[in-house]
Amino acid sequence: MGEEERSSYEKQLNTGEVLFKDGDPGDEMYLIKSGKIRISKSAGDVEKTLAILKEGDFFGEMSVIDGSPRSAAASAVEPAELVIFDREVFMNQVRENPLIEYVLHTLIRRLRETDEQIKYLLIKNEEKRLIAILLTKAREGTQTDKGVLINVSFSFENFADLIGAPLEKTKSIVENLLKANLIVIESDKLYVGNQRNLEEYLSYITLKEKFGGGG
């Protein structure tokens, strides 16, 4: 019975074995008893290693705390043994202290925002990066008669910081999107007129980049 109980809270991974993928549901967090775990994130064909975790490290806590899907992938760099913590057991303890619960939720929100920025920065082409951000923000935006209002105050400086591009490059990208009637800007407000058109334009420039469409 003791061995049976132990195995229900531990997991063995072989080298290269994937524990979970980016976007998977998550109701467990893990402590590494032995071995190493790679945490990685992909954007298109680019995969970036965010961390290599070792014995004594824990991971998977973000999904356990806020109930969101996994924000990165985890796989074994070498044979690993993990101790598993169930979400309900963990959260029941956290809820006993409202301040701790609030602090943890705040930290997780900030980490997820950082993860989102990393995902975009993995996209090398600045125009594709900006469009990907606009499409994501449009899903959270407000529908108006001009299109979907993005919940980010617009200025060229703000958007240059957002996509990590020089100011002049950002201006050129935004002006091209305006000329193509893909976005509307009024004062500090930016609207995506038609998300489907913007998605198709993203597909177009991706194909053009892939097959060498020239300048």
Distance CA 148, CA 140 (A): 9
Residues 82-140 have pLDDT tens digits of 999 888 877 777 788 888 777 777 777 777 666 666 566 656 778 888 888 888 888 88
CATH superfamily of the 2-120 domain: Jelly Rolls (2.60.120.10)
Rg (CA), the chain: 21
Report the phi/psi class of residue 211: left, alpha or beta, with left for phi > 0 and alpha for psi in -120 to 50. alpha
User: 71 and 115 in contact (C-beta within 8 Å)?
Assistant: yes
pLDDT digit string, tens, across residues 1-55: 444 344 348 899 999 999 999 889 888 889 999 999 999 987 666 778 888 999 9
Residue carrying structure tokens 């900006």? 130
Local confidence band at 77 (pLDDT 50, 70, 90 cut-offs): very high
Residue with tokens 């980016």: 22
Return the domain boundaries, the chain.
Answer: 2-120, 125-210
**pLDDT tier at 62 (50, 70, 90 boundaries)?**
confident
Any idea which architecture 125-210 has in CATH?
Answer: Orthogonal Bundle (1.10)
Looking at residue 116, what is its pLDDT?
65
| Burial class of residue 25 in the structure, from the number of CB atoms within 10 Å of its CB (0-12 exposed, 13-18 middle, 19+ buried) | exposed
